[in-house]
Every structure is written in structure tokens, then in C-alpha cells.
Structure 1
Amino acid sequence: MKYLSIFSFLFILTAAQSCLSADEDPVAVPPITGSVVDPGVGGARQPNQVWLDLSDMNPETKKLNQTVNLRTDWDLGFYSGDEYRVILNGSIAMAVAKIPNATQINSVKQSDVQNLMNEVQVGPFGASVLQYIDNPTGNFLTQTTGIEPVKENDADNPVYLLNLGRKLDANSNIPPGSVSLSGDIRGWKKIQILRAPNGYKIRYADLNDTDYKEYIITKDAAYNFSFFSFNSGSTVKIQPEKKKWDIAFTTFTNEVFMGTSSAGSYFYADFVITNTAAGVSAYQVNVTGSLDQAYKNFKLSDIDATKFISNDQRAIGDKWRTTTGTVEVQGAFVYSDRFFVIKDANGFYFKLRFNKMKNVDGERGYPNFVFDPL
């Protein structure tokens, strides 16, 4: 990350200064400043996923570089590590289920899975539907939901019914303060995933097709995942390299609760995930009094290392904003009693404060935050 050399330089200077006697002049250190960031989420339909590396500053514009893709640009992510794991695109509300007693993909017809299609959905239908989505924590290596680990023996890998989620909404008349995340149904696929040398083999077809298509996906150790799109029939670049993003703005398939009881899965707007797969962690700092003053005064020595959340990509999640109004403030707004601390994959620390989630016209999908290295 691009702050590496700067932080290394500061560390050397700090060590040198600690050896100075009281009557020696300290070495002047130029200040390192953060930045104000406007992630390109794209408005009330929130069509984009935005991946951000808090150390990747454009030297010309003095703004943070952003990697942006449409939420519908990919369908499945194939893990590049030693294990064989596959994730769903939760940003378009995908879901999946193993088809009972199915071993041959070409033999499956829509009539065989019609009842299952009514179940494999994202929605608050009770805790039982959580089995059809990825674990919202992002702990894909240990999850028991979604797609099973891909087994070495081809015959041990099931055929799945895959709900492709929703298209982007084409509606342009969205009331201020609201969002419209879901367009038409994208349809269904039947799929089977096998191992291949240093990668995966995916077989896929429409439900009534009698011949499947096949594609080989090779693991790339520079990335957390290789991403596959049914639209292109090939892999696509989505996330930056695994240690070159810290947080991402996205829509998100999460678990929702009624009181303390799970009500199932639910589709969230204005969501922020952390790159836990590469070791990024974060925690929330609660503030009483002036947020401006608390954020300004917070320094490296104030960090509480015991509070970092490294096993849940929702450490920030939806905790930075609310969508319920008050007498004074109607509709969605950013909390003014908190900020966040982030530890990136290289061990550097940042503080981050959200400023807004709407533009001047009240349209959601225009977040803004400021961050500073610690």
C-alpha cells in the first residue's frame, strides 16, 4: 500500500527523535493527511460496488482511487486460497440450494425443482432461509450454508438450483430519502462445480436445457477470488488484489432480526464491508459530546486493540447510518455519535468518520466520509 514507505520513514524518524537530548532540535516531519471521499455508489438505485484502499491516493488529484463495478457484473466468486470454496453475489440477492437426489446436471428439469424455487429466496421468511445464502459474516471458509466445499471426487459434488437474484431497477422516479434496489428477476440456473488443476470447473445451464456449458476457472493467488459471470460465460475482474482494498460500499444480503429472534435474510442498502479475508479489521468508537472534537483528538495511543472485529465483515456494515427519522431529522441520515477505527492488511491504522449518505436533493446513494491515518 502506498502509505507503506511514508509510515516506514516516520517510524525511523520517530525512533531517531527518541534518542535526541533535550537541547537538540528535533527533525521536522511533514504531516500526513487523510482525505474526504465520495464513493461512486451511483444514487438511489445504488447500482455500483465501490472498493477502496485507504492507502491508495492518486498523487495528481489528491483523492482516493476507487475501483467500481456494476453489481450485476458477476455471479459467483471462486476462492483463490488452498481450499475450494465458492461464494454468491449477495449484492443482487442471490440464493442457492442443493437439488435433492440430483447427480446429473442434464437430467434436471424445472418441474423437478418447482417447489424448491418457492423456497430459495431472499426475504424475511424465518431463520430457515438462511441456509440458502452465504454467511453474512463473510466467514466463507467455515460456513455451512450456500455452496458446499468443492470435493475432490467429482461424483461427490451436488447439482444446485441457483437463484440469480435481481436486475438493477430501471426506475428513475425514486422519492428523496428512499432507495430502489431490485428490478426484474434475473432467472435461474442449474449448476455443478468440480475441481480442476489449480482451480475449478463449473457446469451450468438453464433449468430445462439438456446440455450444459462448461468453464475452467484458475486460481490467482494475488486475489481473494476469481469472479465468474454467466452473462459473459467467463471470468471478470471485480475486487482489487487481496491486499489492495480495505472497505467496500455495496448492497448486501444480511440476516435480519425481530427482537432477538432471526427473521431470515434481508437485502440492505448503504452497506460497508471490510476485507476480513485479507486481515482487515475495524471497530466503532462511541462518542458523547462533540463528534468533531472527539474525532480530531483521537490518536494512535487511544486505540483499544481488544475491540477490533476481524471475524465479521459487517464491523461497519449499516452501523454508520439509520433509515428511521426523528422529529428533527426525517428519513435516512448518518449517526453523529460515532466514528470507526480500521486496521488494514499491512497493520496500519486509520480513523474514519461518515459525513453524509444523501446529496443536496435528498437522494440516497451519495455517501461521504473523511479518514485520517493514525
Structure 2
Amino acid sequence: MKLVKILFILSFVICLQSCLAADDDPVSVPPITGQTLDPDLGGAKQGNQVWVDLSEPKDRSMTSNLRTDWDLGFYSGDEFRVVINGSIIMAAGKIPDATDIDAITSAQVASLQNEIMVGSFLASNLQYVDNPNGMFLTQTTGIAPINASDRDNPVYLINMGRDIYNGTITPGSAITGGNERGWYLLQITRANTGYKLKYRDLSSANPHMEYILTKNSDYTLNFFSLKNGKEVTIQPKRKNWDIGFTVFTNEVFYSPGVSAGSYVYADFVISNITDGVGVYQVNIPAGTNADQYYNNFKTSDIDASKFIFNDQRAIGDHWRTVTGSNGAQVYGDRFYIIKDAEGFFFKLRFNKMMNDKGERGYPQFEYEIL
């Protein structure tokens, strides 16, 4: 917990000189001073997502899940928004004029299957994925806001992405996708203050399944697995994570300003912008000792105007490179300043992205509170 209520009872503590009443405001307690962490991304297949709370002790600072554990995330706030699992290369597109989820056949959507995908190097395929900046409350791509009128909510064709790769990977490389997970049909409506899901496997002749998902406001997103037909816990409770390691569906460019559509990245780091986490990159001046510059950076050096609160990719893939004569390696000329949801500041730098065998998916970073 980042916020604790400190209660002192004067009559039972002889040495106490002051106390807080039970109805006083919560007191923000500074988090731990800092530490070095080694997230386990599952090696070069990058099978795990890892969520990091910089305020927690080492044994409680990280939680993880398989990327394939979930398919959809449902916003628990006042709005009705849904995200898809970009870490497994999912995509979603509306089926024109479709209303009956059980009447749709594979033949009817065959042409759409050639469009609803990631990595086709067409700018148009961005419409089928979530906005990579993470501002899902305002995005116009992927799954549209869930309308209050049932009939105004379309039926979607869902590209379920790819399983975690299960073969041999050359040291220094990463493979983000294995076998295809198939196609589903999906329609979402509102159910009081929650969501009603209708879904079925496109390849199945069985009628659709239904599920009522109730918003749990302890979490920013409530997650659901279409494959397993159940809710799952993925991210920690709201404000209880700051950065996350994940495979990521991003936008790529042929040249500045010329989009090549969506593409998949390994070794990606996102920040929890939905709960108010901000990040910016500090570039170490050329010719400067990197260790000294990092160690000497203090609170008074923070430039508040540089914090990025509206793009979860502030760290992204900028902390490492996978090209060049030296292959995959961490950049040594930069570090990051993070402001968490409680207003505490941290400096953070990456030390490595591979293990001693040269296998990717084993990053290490260190950080300190400022």
C-alpha cells in the first residue's frame, strides 16, 4: 500500500508526544529508497508480462502473468471502454451490417480476415488495434465505446493473435508470436453498470456464449479470457503499478510522418498513464561520465515540464537497441525520471537486457527515490 492511515492512541503509548485523530487525512509515506530488479520476461519468447510497483519492497514489487492469460480488458470507471490484448498481436474489426452473431459464417468474413491483422505494413491496419499511446478513453480505433443502445453496438471479428512461441531461438534474438489462435465473433453491450459479452469461436457451429462482467473499481481494467470464458486478474490494483514489461503492438513508420501501420515489439516498457504516472528521458551529455551524471542527479534537477502523462511509450523501446555491430544492448547514455501516482519521484536506469548466455528477455534495472 502506498497510502497508510497512521493511528496513535495516546493513552497506551507513554513516549508519544502527539497523535492523529482517526478521521485525519491519509498520510503519504515515502517509498523505499531504491533497489535493483530483474524482471523475468520468460526469455527470448517473451512469454510474460511483468508489472512493477517502484514503492514496494523487492519481494512484493513485481507481479507477472502469461501474455495469453487474457484477451480483453474492460474499463472500470464511468465510461464503457474495452481494450484488446496487443501483447499477443490481437486485432478487432467491425463486421458491416451484422446483427446476429450466430448467423455469421467464415465465408462471409473471409475478405475481412485479410485486413484485420498486425504487421501488414499498411497504415490502414491501425484502425484494428488500440491506440499505441494508451489513451484508450479517447481512442477511435479497436473496439468502439460501448453504446447505451444495444442495437448500436456492432458485431466484431476478432483476430485472436498468436500463442507464445515454443521453438528454439537464436541467442540475441526474440520471437514474439507462435501459432495462430484463430478467430472469434464478439458483441458487447451494457449490463447496468457492467458489460454483457456475446462471443463464439468462428470455426465452431455452437451457439454463442454469454457472460456478464461487473466493474470492479479496485482495478483500472477488469480482464477476461475469451478462450477460457472467465475473468482473470492481470494488472495489480489501480495505482499499484508504475511500469510494465510486455510485448507490444506499436506504430512503425517508413519515414518521418509516413506510417507503415502496426507492428510488434519485444522488450517494451509501458507506464501507467491511466492512473497518473509520468515519465521522461534524461539524455547524458556526450563526454560525461554516465555513472557520475546519474548518481549526481537530484530532485532539484527535475524538469517538470518534460513529464509525459499522455503516452505510455515514454520509455517504450528507447532504453535498448537490437541493431548495430554490437547487437542487442542497453543504451548507456540515458536514464528515466518517473513520477508515480502518489507524487513521488524516482530515477531509473537499465543495466542489461540479456542473461549471461546472450538470451533476451532478462532485463535488469536499478532505481532510487529522489
Contact 2:32 2:56 survives alignment (8 Å): no
Aligned partners of 2:362 and 2:356: how far apart in 1?
A: 9
Contact 2:55 2:61 survives alignment (8 Å): no
Match of 2:218 in 1: 222
Mapped pair 1:34 → 2:34: yes
Which of 94, 102, 107 is the matching residue for 1:106?
102
1:240 aligns to what SS in structure 2?
Answer: coil
Taking the TM superposition and a 5 Å limit, the aligned residue runs for 1:40-59 are: 40-58=40-58
1:267 aligns to what SS in structure 2?
Answer: strand
Aligned partners of 1:258 and 1:37: how far apart in 2?
A: 35
How far apart are residue 125 of structure 1 and its match?
A: 2.0
Aligned partners of 1:285 and 1:90: how far apart in 2?
A: 28
2:54 aligns to what SS in structure 1?
Answer: strand
Cα deviation, 1:30-67, whole Å, max 9, x if unaligned, reads 99631000011111001000001000114xxxx55211
Decide whether aligned partners of structure 1 residues 4 and 349 sit closer, same or farther in structure 2, where only a CA change above 3 A counts: farther
Which of 236, 249, 255 is the matching residue for 2:251?
255
Match of 1:207 in 2: 202
Contact 2:31 2:369 survives alignment (8 Å): no
2:127 aligns to what SS in structure 1?
Answer: helix
Cα deviation, 1:18-40, whole Å, max 9, x if unaligned, reads xxxxxxxxxxxx99631000011
Cα deviation, 1:242-267, whole Å, max 9, x if unaligned, reads 11000000000000011111101000
Contact 1:39 1:366 survives alignment (8 Å): yes
1:54 aligns to what SS in structure 2?
Answer: coil
How far apart are residue 231 of structure 1 and its match?
A: 2.4
Structure 2 runs not aligned, ≥5 long = 7-29
Aligned partners of 1:64 and 1:314: how far apart in 2?
A: 24
Taking the TM superposition and a 5 Å limit, the aligned residue runs for 1:124-135 are: 124-135=120-131
Decide whether aligned partners of structure 1 residues 129 and 57 sit closer, same or farther in structure 2, where only a CA change above 3 A counts: same
Taking the TM superposition and a 5 Å limit, the aligned residue runs for 1:16-165 are: 33-58=33-58, 63=59, 65-165=61-161
Match of 1:279 in 2: 276
Name the amino acid aligned to 2:277: V
Aligned partners of 2:252 and 2:340: how far apart in 1?
A: 28
Name the amino acid aligned to 1:118: N
Match of 1:270 in 2: 267
Taking the TM superposition and a 5 Å limit, the aligned residue runs for 1:291-370 are: 291-326=290-325, 330-370=326-366
Aligned partners of 2:172 and 2:255: how far apart in 1?
A: 25
How far apart are residue 139 of structure 1 and its match?
A: 0.6
Contact 1:35 1:64 survives alignment (8 Å): no
How far apart are residue 189 of structure 1 and its match?
A: 0.2
For normalisation by structure 1, the TM-score amounts to: 0.89
Aligned partners of 2:31 and 2:127: how far apart in 1?
A: 49
Structure 1 runs not aligned, ≥5 long = 7-29
Contact 2:335 2:350 survives alignment (8 Å): yes
Aligned partners of 2:202 and 2:360: how far apart in 1?
A: 37
Contact 1:36 1:371 survives alignment (8 Å): yes
How far apart are residue 355 of structure 1 and its match?
A: 0.4
Decide whether aligned partners of structure 1 residues 152 and 5 sit closer, same or farther in structure 2, where only a CA change above 3 A counts: closer
Aligned partners of 1:128 and 1:359: how far apart in 2?
A: 38
Name the amino acid aligned to 2:298: K
Decide whether aligned partners of structure 1 residues 195 and 231 sit closer, same or farther in structure 2, where only a CA change above 3 A counts: same
Cα deviation, 1:111-164, whole Å, max 9, x if unaligned, reads 110000011010042210000000000010111100000001111100000000
Contact 1:2 1:57 survives alignment (8 Å): no
Aligned partners of 1:175 and 1:99: how far apart in 2?
A: 40
How far apart are residue 107 of structure 1 and its match?
A: 1.2
Aligned partners of 2:364 and 2:123: how far apart in 1?
A: 34
How far apart are residue 174 of structure 1 and its match?
A: 1.1
Match of 1:187 in 2: 182
Cα deviation, 1:68-101, whole Å, max 9, x if unaligned, reads 1000000000000000000000000000000011
How far apart are residue 3 of structure 1 and its match?
A: 8.1
Decide whether aligned partners of structure 1 residues 197 and 5 sit closer, same or farther in structure 2, where only a CA change above 3 A counts: closer
How far apart are residue 232 of structure 1 and its match?
A: 2.0
Name the amino acid aligned to 2:71: D
Moved over 2 A (4+): 1-6, 30-33
Decide whether aligned partners of structure 1 residues 312 and 112 sit closer, same or farther in structure 2, where only a CA change above 3 A counts: same
Aligned partners of 1:349 and 1:274: how far apart in 2?
A: 14
Give the % identical residues. 60
Contact 1:3 1:55 survives alignment (8 Å): no
Aligned partners of 1:233 and 1:212: how far apart in 2?
A: 11
Aligned partners of 2:86 and 2:166: how far apart in 1?
A: 19
Aligned partners of 2:346 and 2:210: how far apart in 1?
A: 44
How far apart are residue 106 of structure 1 and its match?
A: 1.1
Contact 1:204 1:214 survives alignment (8 Å): yes
2:305 aligns to what SS in structure 1?
Answer: helix
